[in-house]
Amino acid sequence: QKEVEQNSGPLSVPEGAIASLNCTYSDRVSQSFFWYRQYSGKSPELIMSIYSNGDKEDGRFTAQLNKASQYVSLLIRDSQPSDSATYLCATTGGAGGTSYGKLTFGQGTILTVHP
Amino acid sequence: EPEVTQTPSHQVTQMGQEVILRCVPISNHLYFYWYRQILGQKVEFLVSFYNNEISEKSEIFDDQFSVERPDGSNFTLKIRSTKLEDSAMYFCASSPASDTQYFGPGTRLTVL
């Protein structure tokens, strides 16, 4: 059973601070990793994808992947109140190399950015 | 920017009734998915669809569920005989290459 684990939070940070969101996964052969943002009552919105070890930056967002530790994180710099949402970590790819992209999601971390 | 659309936004039905949830994926995408999210729980995979057939399905996707791509644009999820526990948000997603997936706004299904 593939599992993706996240601290459900809530994580509260002041406006302008760095928010750090963490995720671990159990399936060592997971290949692709995604961060989605979900506002209450809305659908998941893709923020970042990362496929290889290291950091990937996109604007205020940086994703970090460490496959040896089975760990992926998301940093949000200069956090804004509009960043307040649930952040979902998801993985795809699995044993046998056959994958049609099924995403396995974590529970999500609730982030609150207060002014 | 192209996006996935879903109709209806909210569907209320009686237990035992059939429902069809509709999705229009992004036009040049080849892989299509349904997920559901019960209130307060994780987003869960239901089924993936590629090349006009189911490519993978979860344990949730039993004989009560079916998917169809009846024409070149629509992708539907049918639940034959709804149960109370089918109440959830249902999300359609599409992808150009079985990787990065873009989600539609969802259909909230309420089974009474």
User: Using one digit for the tens of pLDDT, what is the confidence trace for B72-106?
Assistant: 789 999 999 999 999 999 999 999 987 789 999 99
- Is the pLDDT at A21 greater than 60, yes or no? yes
B103 in contact with A, Cβ within 8 Å: yes
What pLDDT sits at residue A28? 78
Average pLDDT, chain A: 91
- Is the pLDDT at A97 greater than 50, yes or no? no
- Is the pLDDT at A95 greater than 50, yes or no? no
Kindly determine whether residue B33 and residue A106, on different chains, have CB atoms separated by under 8 Å. no
Kindly determine whether residue A32 and residue B42, on different chains, have CB atoms separated by under 8 Å. no
Chain A residue with minimum CA distance to B88: A41
Contacts of B100 in chain A (CB under 8 A): 34, 46, 49
Contacts of A32 in chain B (CB under 8 A): 99
The pair of three-digit structure tokens given for residue A26, joined into one six-digit string: 């159990």
- Is the pLDDT at A96 greater than 50, yes or no? no
Based on the number of CB atoms within 10 Å of its own CB, is B58 exposed (0-12), middle (13-18) or buried (19 or more)?
Answer: middle
- Is the pLDDT at B38 greater than 70, yes or no? yes
Kindly determine whether residue B56 and residue A106, on different chains, have CB atoms separated by under 8 Å. no
d(CA B60, CA A100): 17
pLDDT digits (tens, 9 = 90+) for A69-83: 999 999 999 999 999
Write the Ramachandran bin of B28: left for phi over 0, alpha for psi from -120 to 50, otherwise beta: alpha
- Is the pLDDT at A64 greater than 90, yes or no? yes
What pLDDT sits at residue A94? 55
The most confident of the ranges A9-13, A49-53, A75-79 is A75-79
Question: Among partner residues A49, A88, A100, which is closest to B98 by beta-carbon distance?
Answer: A100
Question: Among partner residues B41, B45, B102, which is closest to A104 by beta-carbon distance?
Answer: B45
What pLDDT sits at residue A1? 64
- Is the pLDDT at B56 greater than 90, yes or no? yes
**Residue the block writes with tokens 């699995």:** A94
d(CA B104, CA B53): 21
What pLDDT sits at residue A98? 53
Kindly determine whether residue B100 and residue A46, on different chains, have CB atoms separated by under 8 Å. yes
Mean pLDDT value across residues A33-50: 96
d(CA B112, CA B108): 13
Contact B88, B39 (CB under 8 A): yes
Which residues lie closer than 8 Å to A9 by C-beta, 6 or more apart?
A: A109, A110, A111, A112
Contacts of A104 in chain B (CB under 8 A): 45
- Is the pLDDT at B32 greater than 90, yes or no? yes
> Measuring CA to CA, which residue among A8, A1, A3 is closest to residue A22?
A8
d(CA B54, CA A91): 20
What pLDDT sits at residue A8? 83
Kindly determine whether residue A101 and residue B35, on different chains, have CB atoms separated by under 8 Å. no
**Residue the block writes with tokens 């919105």:** A45
